[in-house]
């Protein structure tokens, strides 16, 4: 049978019954790409693997949680779901709700979500409401409304979201034949995903699928770094709009993941994120969205600060790092176009094209 999505793959670890109607778009089982150009350049001791979550059906890791959240909302009899979102959650919720045949309402910060994500929520038929405020304010409203209305909340405070997203950790362990990477690096926004991965790793250890656990490395954007600063950020800023979040709902469990794993939650500037974003695209052929590149930017920063010197590889002679590239670059074409060189425009003539690519003399024209 064709691949049927992550609930089928990891059914025994998920709260679904034999008769549960699974709402799936065949998410999960994403590629793990070895960053053979970038790895050594960041630090010779590192072997960096890129878990390309942008290849999920709606282009982000949110689909892992959404297949579970929508499956359970339908099972519980809900006719509508709702979320606040910096973009990807709304795209995913809209798609899975469409597939389930239920309504979806999304609250997004006015003007602060990437265009690809907005287009997804719209085309899948969600009711899109732009709030003149930030994500944190929108989430507060969604929490309040779903407490009294017959609408299921599908943000990551919904425990089924975390259940679905923990399968990312299972896949990593399965890909490496039961050996945990030394480190896992990822962006941190509302902190659901770091919570979910850590839960997944620990559960896999409990059932004997793995003996050791990775150190969790989470990265926030410097303008939106509440966990690093130790207090909420009232007006979060960053061009990586996916993680423009000032008061993460899963703050405490993100700190627990960091502390229990002996990891780090750090911050990276927009400039550092942009460099990492460009480097990944230019040297590995991997196009992720800006927020996702913060994981690479964070590794660069830790390497520069000598962080990896104090650690010994679990296996082999290099430290194995898995970077979670949470969203696809096509989500945010505006950021790519702003980052890269502008195309040239020429007349439809051979010599103009040869000149544009610097081959005019070589061609002897």
**Sole window of 16-24, 79-87, 177-185, 266-274 interacting with ligand AN7 (rule: CB under 6 A):** 79-87
86 near ligand AN7 (CB under 6 A): yes
How many residues contact ligand AN7, by CB under 6 A?
22
136 near ligand AN7 (CB under 6 A): no
- Residue pair 53/30 in contact (Cβ under 8 Å)? The answer is yes
87 near ligand AN7 (CB under 6 A): yes
Report 308-327 residues binding ligand AN7 (CB under 6 A): 326-327
191 near ligand AN7 (CB under 6 A): yes
192 near ligand AN7 (CB under 6 A): yes
Quick note: the x/- pattern for ligand AN7 over 96-135, rule CB under 6 A, is: ----------------------------------------
Least distance to ligand AN7, CB of residue 190, Å: 3
Query: End-to-end CA distance of the chain, in Å?
Result: 58
Interface residue with ligand AN7 among 67, 71, 193, 247 (CB under 6 A) is: 193
Quick note: the x/- pattern for ligand AN7 over 155-184, rule CB under 6 A, is: -x----------------------------
Least distance to ligand AN7, CB of residue 359, Å: 39
Interface residue with ligand AN7 among 30, 56, 58, 60 (CB under 6 A) is: 60
241 near ligand AN7 (CB under 6 A): no
89 near ligand AN7 (CB under 6 A): yes
What residues line the site for ligand AN7 (CB under 6 A)?
60, 62, 85-89, 156, 187-193, 242-243, 289, 291-292, 326-327
């Amino acid at each position: 049978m064709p691949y049927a999505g992550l609930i089928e793959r990891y059914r025994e670890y998920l709260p679904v019954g034999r008769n549960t109607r699974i709402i799936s778009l065949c998410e999960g089982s994403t590629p793990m790409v070895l960053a053979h150009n970038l790895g050594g350049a960041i630090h010779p001791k590192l072997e960096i693997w890129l878990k390309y979550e942008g290849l999920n059906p709606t282009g982000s890791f949110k689909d892992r949680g959404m297949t579970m959240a929508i499956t359970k909302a339908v099972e519980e009899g809900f006719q509508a779901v709702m979320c606040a979102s910096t973009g990807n959650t709304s795209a995913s919720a809209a798609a899975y709700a469409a597939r389930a045949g239920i309504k979806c309402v999304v609250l997004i910060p006015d003007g602060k979500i990437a265009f690809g994500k907005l287009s997804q929520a719209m085309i899948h038929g969600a009711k899109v409401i732009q709030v003149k405020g930030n994500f944190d304010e929108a989430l507060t409203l969604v929490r309040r409304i779903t407490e009294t209305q017959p609408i299921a909340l599908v943000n990551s405070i919904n425990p089924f979201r975390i259940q679905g997203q923990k399968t990312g950790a299972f896949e990593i362990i399965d890909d490496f034949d039961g050996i945990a990477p030394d480190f896992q690096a990822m962006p941190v926004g509302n902190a659901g995903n770091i919570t979910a991965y850590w839960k997944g790793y620990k559960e896999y250890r409990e059932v004997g699928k793995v003996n050791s656990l990775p150190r969790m490395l989470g990265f926030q954007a410097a303008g939106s770094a509440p966990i690093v600063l130790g207090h909420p950020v009232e007006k979060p800023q960053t061009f990586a709009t996916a993680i423009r979040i000032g008061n993460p709902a899963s703050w405490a469990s993100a700190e627990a993941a960091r502390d229990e794993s002996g990891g780090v939650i750090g911050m990276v500037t927009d400039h550092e994120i942009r460099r990492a974003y460009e480097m990944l695209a230019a040297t590995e052929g991997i196009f992720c969205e800006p927020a996702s590149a913060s994981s690479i930017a964070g590794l660069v920063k830790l390497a520069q600060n000598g962080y990896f010197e104090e650690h010994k590889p679990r296996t082999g002679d290099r430290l194995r790092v898995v970077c979670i590239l949470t969203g696809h670059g096509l989500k945010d074409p505006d950021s790519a176009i702003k980052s890269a060189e502008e195309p040239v425009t020429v007349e439809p003539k051979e010599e103009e094209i040869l000149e544009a690519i610097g081959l005019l003399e070589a061609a002897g024209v």
